[in-house]
Amino acid sequence: MLDGARIAVVVPAYREARLLGRMLPKIPAFVDAVYVVDDASDDGTEAVAERAGERRVRCLVHAENQGVGAAIASGYRAALEDGHDVLAVMAGDDQMHPDDLATLVRAVLAGADYAKGNRFVHPEAWRMPTMRRAAGELFSLFTRLSTGLRISDSQCGYTALAARAAERLPLAELFPRYGYPNDLLGMLAARGFSVVDVPVRPVYADERSGLRPWHAARIPLVIARRGWKERSVERNPA
């Protein structure tokens, strides 16, 4: 627990057997439960999670690969069912510094509905690869224009979500693959939830990015799709 609240961490994992065993022991002690969502990996990811020796770890397994957004939605639903107050996300590739988790969670405990990491404003932002930073700046601009949110680094997946907000989101609609952060931000904005940026460290070591050019090309379409969908709901309320 942290400041009297029950904290869950969702770890989406696809073919993360090499790095997951290094990442899981680093999750801070104040976290009450860890939901590793193995998205139909074929490299023993589930076995690594089970061998971690962490009583907090629960492994959920998708029978078929559904995508990182779908894995996070599965983790959110499980954490909500178990009664947690704050649902954080840490990737299985060990790219999120555990010392930043408390700051994200406390932003939610202080009243924000959603706290997202912002690597661009951290003193170590220079560590980010130039092209990744440039693409992130562009997608952040598209997301701001579509949602009206005053955010940056829209693609950062290091986040904390209040359970009270998660319970009101149509998680079954969350875009299942790359582009889910923008889709989730669109959902939150359309429902009037508060979103805050929290500086987090950019971490790059020996992990391999799963992001491909076609993923990047898809993101503006995901942003436009969410904007159109939410406007349609406003025009045709149930």
Does the pLDDT of residue 119 top 90, yes or no?
Answer: yes
Q: What is the pLDDT of residues 53-71, one digit of tens each?
A: 789 999 999 999 999 999 9
Max CA pair span of the chain: 51
Mean pLDDT value of segment 164-173? 97
Above 90 in pLDDT, residue 118?
yes
Q: Checking DSSP bridges between strand 159-162 and strand 86-89, what pairing results, if any? A: antiparallel
pLDDT confidence of residue 234: 60
What's the pTM? 0.93
Tell me: pLDDT of 238 over 50.
no
Residues 41 and 44: their CA atoms lie apart, in Å, by: 7
pLDDT band at 213, cuts 50/70/90?
Answer: low
Count CB neighbours of 30 within 10 A: 13
What gap in Å lies between CA 101 and CA 99, rounded to an integer?
Answer: 6
In terms of pLDDT, which residue wins out, 33 or 213? 33
Angle between helix 180-190 and 130-147 (nearest 10): 30
Q: Report the percentage of the chain scoring pLDDT > 70.
A: 92
Q: What pLDDT was estimated at residue 168?
A: 97
What is the pLDDT, as a whole number, of residue 83?
Answer: 98
